[in-house]
Amino acid sequence: MTLTEECKAIERACPGWHVWRSDEGKVYATRVSHGTLGCGVTIPCHGIGRAPHEIAEYEHALACAERRERVRSEGWGAAA
């Protein structure tokens, strides 16, 4: 499988992400966000084989941060 085919396979498995290799040979994944003119956060990946795992880790960390912010903003857990 070529690098392009591997990137496309990861993109199919991780909708909303674009996986690519830089001119220096490093692998990155960019979150495609239509609300920000088509570009979003870019995370470095430690090789093409690690990209799906690193995307999942990023999404998990983001979800946790969003939950913490929601709890903080809604006052959950505050002393009565």
pLDDT digits (tens, 9 = 90+) for 6-65: 999 999 999 999 999 999 999 999 998 766 565 678 999 999 999 999 999 999 999 999
Asked whether residue 60 is assigned to any structural domain, the reply reads: yes
Asked whether residue 79 is assigned to any structural domain, the reply reads: no
Asked whether residue 24 is assigned to any structural domain, the reply reads: yes
Instruction: Give the per-residue pLDDT at 47.
Output: 92
Asked whether residue 22 is assigned to any structural domain, the reply reads: yes
Asked whether residue 11 is assigned to any structural domain, the reply reads: yes
**SS3 state at 4:** helix
Handedness of CA 71, 34, 52, 49 (dihedral sign): negative
Bridge partners for 9 per DSSP = none
DSSP summary character for residue 74: H
Asked whether residue 54 is assigned to any structural domain, the reply reads: yes
Instruction: Give the per-residue pLDDT at 52.
Output: 95
Report the domain count for the chain.
1
47-56 pLDDT per residue, tens:
999 999 999 9
Asked whether residue 80 is assigned to any structural domain, the reply reads: no
Residue 51 is part of which domain span? 3-74
Asked whether residue 43 is assigned to any structural domain, the reply reads: yes
